[in-house]
Amino acid sequence: MNGFGGFVVRRAAGAVVTLFALSVIIYVVFYVTPGDVAQITCGPRCSPAQVRQVAGQLHLDDPLYARYWQFLQGLVAGQDYSTGTSVQHCAAPCLGLSYQTDQQVLALILAKLPVTASLAVGSMVLWLIIGVGTGVLSVWRRGRLTERLLTTVTLAGMSTPVFVIGLVLMIVVCGQLELLPFPQYVPFTDDPEQWAWNLLLPWLSLALIESATYARITRAAMLETLAEDHVRTFRAYGVGERAVIGRHALRGALAPLIAVNANNIGVLFGGAVLTETLFGLPGIGREMVEAVKVVDLPVVVGMVLVTGFFVVLANAVADVLYAVADRRVVLT
């Protein structure tokens, strides 16, 4: 297939192959490791009978390829699990059952996903506005005091951990100034205003850190574009500096911005562990921390698979956006 449609099909096929390879790696890392996998999966409080039941569910006596096939079959077609008193069907994509709560891992993740999605989308909007705006302003005021100040601020932002920014904002904004409430997740469908008001502080914490990276990428890409021959030609024909920066130099920064944003938003959708834990938000990242604490292996594996899925999906979408921004990408 040729053209844009063929490009999209090729990128989609590549994403599927990547997800398959990812599932193999995750299975090997978590289920083909030294130690008693059944005991680790079931948890430290399980009785010998429960451990044997888990070993049967994981088909640990079967060859490795057969065990992986059962794992893959659960993802594609679903799987039946015995809970001791009954058989529970886990519909595809089945990520298994939590041995701490007997909940299906996918249902648990979907219950936490709106929190993480709210955090990811709101943060992305803010860091793009702040980061790209700062980068453009830095180029617009290049060679002046404004550029030096913005460069210093972005360097400081890139070197500051998110939990430091978050703690400072909570102490100052929530504690001393009392401008915002301490974050407490409110579903968007219940009260959109309170949803945004309570998430503003976590959004700012992530956005202030990430925007520093976007500012530097925007500035570097725009300066590189401004040094190209076609930009000098525009200036020679009398095109104003504002038009040169806004129409041509900024467009040159789109490709690296799309790449970085795809990776960041994919990881955030997979769970912003530090931010959710710091602000007490009941999202995927915080749930993963709790699963690691109690050694709930199916939940950990499911969370890692979901994180990988969102990263691969975000990068596949980024490839398509490359083609929209620059149709020459379709030919590669």
Q: What is the pLDDT of residues 104-154, one digit of tens each?
A: 899 999 999 999 999 999 999 999 999 998 988 888 888 788 878 888 888
Concatenated DSSP letters of 41-93: HH-TT--HHHHHHHHHHTTTTS-HHHHHHHHHHHHHH-EEEE-SSSEEEE-SS
Retrieve residue 19's tokens: 């997800």
Angle made by CA atoms 200, 207, 313, in degrees to the nearest 5? 105
Span of 51-55, 171-175, 296-300 with lowest mean pLDDT: 51-55
Q: With H, G, I as helix, E, B as strand and everything else as coil, classify residue 7.
A: helix
267-278: pLDDT as tens digits: 788 767 888 888
Question: What is the pLDDT at residue 198?
Answer: 92
Categorize the per-residue pLDDT at 282 as very low, low, confident or very high, splitting at 50, 70 and 90. very high
Which comes out higher in pLDDT, residue 247 or 152? Answer: 152
pLDDT band with cut points at 50, 70 and 90 for residue 321: confident
The pLDDT tens digits for 83-109 are: 666 677 888 888 888 877 878 899 999
pLDDT of 21 = 93
Q: What angle do CA 37, 64, 51 make, to 5 degrees?
A: 25
Considering 112-116, 180-184, 208-212, 216-220, the range whose residues carry the highest mean pLDDT is 112-116
pLDDT classification of 332: cutoffs 50, 70, 90: low
Confidence of residue 199 (pLDDT cuts 50, 70, 90): very high
Percent of the chain scored above 90 by pLDDT?
19
pLDDT digits (tens, 9 = 90+) for 10-65: 889 999 999 999 999 998 888 776 567 777 767 667 778 877 877 777 777 778 88
**Scanning the structure block, which residue is given the tokens 């079931």?**
42
CB-count burial class (<10 Å; 0-12, 13-18, 19+) for 318: buried
